[in-house]
Amino acid sequence: MDALHGLKVLELGQLIAGPFAGKTLADFGADVVKIEPLEGGDPLRTWRLLRDGTSVWWEVQSRNKRSVALDLRTPQGQEVVRALAAEADVLIENFKPGTLEGWGLGWEALHALNPKLIMLRISGFGQTGPYAGKPGFGVLGEAMGGLRHLTAEPGRVPVRVGVSIGDTLAALHGVIGVLTALRHREVNGGVGQVIDVALYESVFNVMESLLPEYDAFGVVRGAAGSALPGIAPSNAYPCADGAYVLVAGNGDSIFRRLMQAIGRADLAADPGLARNDGRVPRVEEIDAAIRGWTSARPIGEAIATLEAAGVPVGRIYSVADIAADPQYLARDMIVQTHDVEGRPLKVPGIVPKLADTPGRMRTPAPRLGQHTDEVLSQRGWPKRPVRI
């Protein structure tokens, strides 16, 4: 049986953060009913590359869900949501704060209907504070959370990560909150509660020592390109064939093996470099030694030599590399599935890997409103209510 079998989830979110949280719960067996606008559905359906008018991203984000098409601005649509929320375990939403309240679907109203309901609310800046009413997207959360300040070569324009990492981090924090709230409700005899997730806080939560270093030492950490400031050596180094090899030699014993492998026994034996705090001030010297060695050989040779020495080493993967990699394939991270029309499509596998109750792909991403009749008729509504 699936780990979350029997868990009823009502997803009101659109695009990335809320739906990613819903996808994660659905992958492990939750029954996720996704509410979509009647006209066009979730905008993600038409984002990035389309196949016959539908985004292939949609096929990943909405697998294992059921689609119900409603107009939440109408009394009829709001009535349906209240009825579904009355029997749901979890409601997910990522609208601008105040939107649900304007529709009569805020926390107080739904909690009164269903005291056990857990409401996951994801927004740019949270439900409280001076910025709560501002619209917020992942890019703003990444910038305000401190990430964008670090993602650049020194002196160059900060760049984005390349994916919507702020939204995804918020979604994962939301799933942690949902599972924690469920544990409290079921084991400790608690009731439902609100999980208030802000995009910027989700990014800030993974910023490691950024704040205490500023508080204790006044250090404003800046961009460092491919290096990892304060940890040495860890960087990307050029090879003779134009590729870059990633070397993480920052463990003390690993550093000694790395220096031996590149022919620098003198650095391996240097007592001043025995620990990370001694290596950091001399990181440019160390990087120059590694760079001199890697630039004289192709990446394959560099990787083989360092792997033989027990040094963590790798290459920068493109998606073509990912799709062909034996480690991805061995762990079912490249999954051959099909869309609702039966067309084959490879999608990312399920994370994390549970030994006894692994997640699985039960159904493809739905057509817009595919399950409206099914979901509503189960609850006594006639088929195809007018303008819901």
Query: Is 197 a residue whose pLDDT tops 80?
Result: yes
156, 231 contact by CB (below 8 A): no
Do 58 and 146 lie in one domain? The reply is yes
User: Is residue 167 annotated as part of the catalytic site, yes or no?
Assistant: yes
- Residue 200 in tokens: 């910027």
Q: What is the pLDDT of residues 41-96, one digit of tens each?
A: 999 999 999 999 999 999 999 999 999 999 999 999 999 999 999 999 999 999 99
202, 145 contact by CB (below 8 A): yes
Average pLDDT, the chain: 95
pLDDT at 386: 45
Do 90 and 122 lie in one domain? The reply is yes
Do 295 and 344 lie in one domain? The reply is no
Asked if residue 138 is part of any domain, the answer here is yes
* Cα radius of gyration (the chain): 25
8 to each of 45, 73, 78, 121, how far by Cα in Å? 23, 23, 18, 16
- In the chain, DSSP finds a helix count (H) and a strand count (E) of 17, 13
Question: pTM of the prediction?
Answer: 0.94
Mapping DSSP to helix (H, G, I), strand (E, B) and coil, where does residue 358 land?
A: coil
Number of domains in the chain: 2
Do 157 and 70 lie in one domain? The reply is yes
Of 89, 167, 196, 339, catalytic: 167
The number of C-alpha atoms within 13 Å of 287 and in the hemisphere containing its C-beta is 18
Do 149 and 201 lie in one domain? The reply is yes
Boundaries of domain holding 246: 234-315
Confidence grade of residue 349 (pLDDT, cut at 50, 70, 90): very high
Do 283 and 358 lie in one domain? The reply is no
- Intra-chain end-to-end CA distance of the chain, in Å: 34
Do 182 and 309 lie in one domain? The reply is no
Mapping DSSP to helix (H, G, I), strand (E, B) and coil, where does residue 287 land?
A: helix
